Structure 1
Amino acid sequence: MARFIKAKKEAIGISPDAILFRGEKKSDYIRLRVLDFDLEKLDEFEVKNVCETIRFDNSTTTSWLNIDGLHDEKIMEEISLGFKLDSLIVPEVLNTHARPKIQEYDNCICISVKMLQYNGVDDQITAENLVLIIKENLLISFQEKEGDVFEPIRKRLRKNKKRIRSSASDYLAFALLDVVIDNYIYIISRIGEKIESLDEELISKPSNSTLEAINKYKGEIIYIRKAIKPCLEMIMSLVKLDSELMNENIGIHLKELQSNINQANDLLDSYREILSNQLNMFHTNVSNQLNAILKFLTIFSVIFIPLTFIAGIYGTNFDNIPELHYKYSYFIMWGVILVIAISMIIYFKRKKWF
């Protein structure tokens, strides 16, 4: 299955506000988890239906509703109606192959971004769509499947870290985006270690497996770039966003996000360039090896051309060859052959042709 474009024919012509799941089912069930907190207390629990979460829309505390699994269109419609979301938001959530972006609505901000996971066994990157909806004192996050990538944020909330416990939903959204972008940098560094290890192999003994590895990592870097480039644009738009849902003091944190995504982008460009150089080095080494083989074969052929000429003359079937009946003709012929061969070898060595 294609990793870059996964469009379905059935989705062609569907209304933009149609609540239709357009991704791949990655979870067997939908899980609804709530974290409700302020400086004094924190409540963490799992709910069975959307109705139990609607009360957090107008809460004086800060609430985080996390939804794992997106395939149940009925639940998604309940979320859209219960939280009074714009009719275009939930269809965007259900289109998991959509490009990362940010969109401001009347009562919320919707952020779409790609989360990356790294499989160290086969060195392959997989992507998951993450959507954050920032409302006043409420953050709703949509994930395609259950995972532990945001567990560090939950631990910070449980340990009563004052900054995050005293902040609103905008800071919580920043914290989640920060985890996503830090994970970009981590994954790029892991792939980068593998890429840099190819240098020694290229110098010592390049092989077909080396070429396969270079091409494989090029594909993974391109796949990462598919997530990072739109995220870079989204973060820049978020920094410039002027919304009542974003506190004034969040600006410095958004600048930190911008710095981190720029770092990830710079690392990505660096490794793309390293892979291009490695590919050029591989082809250069292969060409040098081929040239060395051709040089050897050419010299070998040149040495034997005069020897073949001599053997050809004395192999002709004529009676009147002056040296034919001479007692030492055979040994003289071999002497001439050896003198010519040794002289040519010495000449080639002096010229440093081999």
Structure 2
Amino acid sequence: MKVRLVNNGVFTLLEEFTMPLTPPESGFYWIDADTEDLEELQPLFGLHELAVEDCLTEEEQRPKIELYDHQYFIVINSIRYDDEEIFLRALNIFLGRNYIITVTKQKINEIRAIKPVLWEEEVNAPDRFLYHLVDLVVDNYFTVADRIEAKIEKLEEEILLHTKKSHLNEIISLRSEILWLKKALGPQKDLIFTLNKKELRLINDQLQKYFSDIYENTIKISETFETFRDLMGNLREAYQMSLENRTNEVMRVFTAITTIFMPLTFVTGFYGMNFDYIPLLHSPMGAALVSMGMALLGGGMFYYFRKRGWL
């Protein structure tokens, strides 16, 4: 657990402190905690037992906001895209009048990225801290969306150039992740809508328009992933068509080869009959002439097929 005093964007790490913390004359406290620290923090800050239980549960939490008398409990999902897989990390936030507590189970990039933003913006209130943190979380969805779009474009190019059976598994896997993420974006959008529209006494009214901008970005993200879902459907159709075209191409080649060898089979069958009087049967040049004729016949048919575009 790290306790920092934030005053106009300047961080002061409190190496030694006593709980409960005395409200600062200027600025606010940022407590960056793990789930193990909640046992100590709960009685000191009056954290609601249901909120603490949500932080500790192993189940995936839906983004939400719970309003209590002296604090708000907010759950928002941070997104990561590692090793071609999408991960959602729950970011639990307790917002008070002069403090903000962030509780995470895993490392979240936005926690590290918030520091230079707060310094640059000279943040001096926990609700402003909340705004910038939520803004970073939402902006990261655009970064992941760009990577997913690049993945879709690369997959489409590979399918069109050289279709493989493994491409179908990639399409199904990526489509499932997109649908899962699209479903998770619904509650997150509702959360930010609440921060945007509902009157919240711990959040300054002047921040409403800023949360409105984040809400618009959330809508854009939701629409982007809706587009991705449609693209994955088109990609699957392209995969099926590519397989069908490949099969038709193979069948066309086999049909042409069979057609070329049909007259050659007739010739060899004709000369294989047990008759004494067959043209060129007893001629010294018979075998050479028949072989040459067969070669000319096969070559002529191959040239004709190529000229007509059948091969």
1:83-123 CA-to-partner distances (Å, cap 9, x unmatched) read: 2233311111212522222222233222111112333xx33
Are 2:32 and 1:67 equivalent residues in the alignment? yes
- Deviation of 1:257 after TM superposition, in Å, equals 1.0
Residue aligning to 1:9: none
- 1 CA distance for matches of 2:177 and 2:3? 33
Q: What is the aligned residue count? A: 309
Find the counterpart in structure 1 of residue 185 from structure 2. 228
How far apart are the structure 1 equivalents of 2:107 and 2:279?
94
C-alpha contact 1:125 1:223 (8 A) present in aligned 2: no
Q: Are 2:63 and 2:191, in contact at CA under 8 Å, matched by a contact in 1?
A: yes
Q: 5+ residue gaps in structure 1?
A: 1-30
Distance 1:319 1:146 in 2: 90
Q: Is the 8 A contact 1:136 1:169 kept in 2?
A: yes
> CA offset at residue 176 of structure 1?
0.8
Instruction: State whether structure 2 residue 271 is matched by structure 1 residue 300.
Output: no
Runs of 4+ in 1 over 6 A off after TM superposition: none
The two structures have a TM-score, normalised by structure 2, of: 0.82
CA distance change for structure 1 residues 263 and 347 in 2, over 3 Å: closer, same or farther?
Answer: same
2:41 corresponds in structure 1 to 79
Mapped to 1, the partners of 2:8 and 2:280 lie a distance apart of: 113
Partner residue, 2:214: 257
Which residue of structure 2 aligns with residue 130 of structure 1? 91
Amino acid at match of 2:21: R
2:79 corresponding residue in structure 1: 116
Structure with the bigger percentage of helix: 2
In the other structure, the counterpart of 2:20 is: 54
Higher mean C-alpha deviation, range 170-179 or range 191-200: 191-200
- The 1:319–1:155 alpha-carbon spacing in structure 2 relative to 1, beyond 3 Å, is closer
Report the Cα distance in structure 2 between the residues aligned to 1:202 and 1:278, rounded to whole angstroms: 8
2:91 is matched by which residue type in structure 1? L
The separation in 1 between residues aligned to 2:102 and 2:16, in whole angstroms, is 15
- Say if 2:78 and 2:89, in contact at 8 Å, map to a contact too: yes
Letter in 2 for 1:302: T
Give the SS at the match of 1:150.
helix
Secondary structure of the corresponding residue to residue 62 of structure 2: coil
Report the CA distance between 1:340 and its aligned residue.
4.8
Structure 1 position 219, deviation (Å) = 5.1
Tell me the residue number matched to 1:45: 14
Tell me which amino acid in the other structure corresponds to 1:37.
N
Matched residues in 1 for 2:231 and 2:28: separation? Answer: 45
Matched, 1:281 2:238: yes
- Percent identity at matched positions? 24
Cα separation, 1, equivalents of 2:299 and 2:107 = 76
For the 8 Å contact 2:78–2:88, the answer to whether it is kept is: yes
What does residue 189 of structure 1 align with? 146
The aligned residue for residue 88 of structure 1 is 50
1:1-354 alignment to 2 at 5 Å?
31-37=1-7, 43-46=12-15, 52-56=18-22, 61-70=26-35, 72=36, 75-96=37-58, 97-119=60-82, 122-158=83-119, 161-162=121-122, 164-165=123-124, 168-208=125-165, 213-215=170-172, 217-218=174-175, 220-222=177-179, 224-225=181-182, 227-316=184-273, 318-319=274-275, 321-323=277-279, 327=283, 330=287, 333-334=290-291, 337=294, 340-341=297-298, 344-345=301-302, 347-349=304-306, 351-354=308-311
Displacement after TM superposition at 1:326 (Å) = 5.3
Deviation, 1:302, is 1.6
